[in-house]
């Protein structure tokens, strides 16, 4: 019976043959005609005509008149029925779960605002009810509790505040997160509120009005 080769013996043969092949390639490379090429790192690359055109604004530039032609004029019209205004960007909006005429907005001006939607003479108006002030940075999240009894605001100051929608009274200031509030969520059957923070943690509080 013929003896089977051991795997280690095969590896040894393969390694020897591979080394011999490499030596042969080295000899052929050394004996062959080679061309030496020098690269100068300090030499600046040649500028192409395309680069000159881009720097001079001649390439890829579209005039405003060509961009907004008469065919898309209708897309610039504002069809909103009414508006709410902050002094800076509006970052979050929430509607009351039971009274759809009531809504809250949060803005980059560090405040949240409660609004009423009123219809007069066929026109819709958004009337400011009260301003929820107290955050020291942008109000990024707003949300009503499932029963509409509370409204919560969360900000980049790492604070969650609980308010009474009827009066705008501050009920609780919930602190703990060391960084910005990214999201808030009320429990659907209670007054527990969760918040996610940029400190890589989720926080939960039980929000009840003080007696």
10-residue block means of pLDDT along the chain (211 residues)? Answer: 52 57 64 60 59 58 57 53 68 91 92 88 82 94 95 95 94 91 93 94 80 41
pLDDT of residue 210: 47
Domains in the chain (CATH in brackets) are: 90-206 (2.130.10.10)
Order of strands, edge to edge, in the sheet holding 160-163?
A: 139-144, 151-155, 160-163, 170-174
Strands 160-163 and 170-174, sheet pairing: antiparallel
Q: Are 110 and 139 in contact (CB under 8 A)?
A: yes
1 CB neighbour count, 10 Å cutoff: 3
- Predicted confidence at residue 145, as pLDDT, reads 95
pLDDT at 120: 77
């Amino acid at each position: 019976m013929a003896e089977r080769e051991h795997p280690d013996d095969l590896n040894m043969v393969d390694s020897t043959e591979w080394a011999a092949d490499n030596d042969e390639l080295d000899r052929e490379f050394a004996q062959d005609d080679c061309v030496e090429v020098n690269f100068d790192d300090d030499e600046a690359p040649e500028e192409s005509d395309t680069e000159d055109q881009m720097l001079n604004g001649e390439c890829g530039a579209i005039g405003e008149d060509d961009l907004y032609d008469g065919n898309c004029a209708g897309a610039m019209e504002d069809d909103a029925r009414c508006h709410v205004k902050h002094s800076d960007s509006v970052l979050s909006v929430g509607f009351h779960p039971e009274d759809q005429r009531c809504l809250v907005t949060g803005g980059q001006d560090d405040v949240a605002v409660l609004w009423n939607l009123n219809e007069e003479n066929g026109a819709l108006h958004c009337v400011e009810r009260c301003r929820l002030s107290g955050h020291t940075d942008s109000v990024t999240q707003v949300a009503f509790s499932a029963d509409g009894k509370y409204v919560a605001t969360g900000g980049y100051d790492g604070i969650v505040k609980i308010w009474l929608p009827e009066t705008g009274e501050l009920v609780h200031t919930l602190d703990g997160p060391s960084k910005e509030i990214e999201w808030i969520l009320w429990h659907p059957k209670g007054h527990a509120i969760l918040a996610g923070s940029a400190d890589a943690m989720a926080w939960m509080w039980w929000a009840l009005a003080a007696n």
